Amino acid sequence: MATPNVLNVIHAHARLIINPTDFTAAYPYGGTEIGIFRAIEWRPNVQTREIAAEEWGGANANAVYAGERPLLLGVLRGYDADAIAAHFPNTTTTLSQAQITGHVATGSVPGTKLSTKAMSVLVAPKEETLDPALYLPNALPVIQEDLAAKYSFASELGLALSWVALPDANGRLYDQGLLVNLTV
């Protein structure tokens, strides 16, 4: 075990890239950087289930690993056309500005599968040789249902966006580590 050192505490500044193709290439690794995000948050959501022992009066006797439901969240600080188009079901882009249209009769109607918008997502640290990256090879862009965009001089108009990690063809949900050790 390594000796604890406060210099090893990670304060990672990261950027989000969709559909990277080559982690050895120059930034943005063959993908597209999307917007400026704050409060990027990674939730592996590891699931466990306790096993109760009747012979011990229902006390926990063990626990089992029950899978993971990974989720990546972030707050989009600007009106980025790529991020908007990836997340909102009905968008159009004109002069690099995305327009969101709420419509239930055309385009992506209620009941449309989100898997058609699946993409790979890379959380790329600015210090790629020091800070860990996070790669979701098959992620569904979803809008947080409690999204509230405030129009105010007192705060930013931030959009809370997220990605749900799905298994790729090999069963991989995510990879986290130094970028040099990750594969697309």
| pLDDT per residue as tens digits for the range 171-182 | 999 999 999 999
- Give the domain ranges of the chain: 6-42+75-181
| Per-residue pLDDT, 94 | 66
Q: How far apart are the first and last CA of the chain?
A: 30
Contact 68, 46 (CB under 8 A): yes
Rg, the chain, Cα only? 20
Query: What residues contact 121, with CB distance under 8 A and at least 6 apart?
Result: 16, 17, 18, 72, 135, 136, 139, 163
Q: Compute, in degrees rounded to 10, the torsion defined by CA atoms 171, 46, 138, 84.
A: 170
What does the pLDDT look like over 11-51, one tens digit per residue? 778 899 999 999 999 999 999 999 888 889 999 999 999 99
Residue range 106-131: average pLDDT? 85
**Residue 22 tokens, joined:** 């080559």
Contact 160, 75 (CB under 8 A): yes
- Containing H/E element for 183? none
Average pLDDT of the chain, as a whole number: 86
| Per-residue pLDDT, 180 | 94
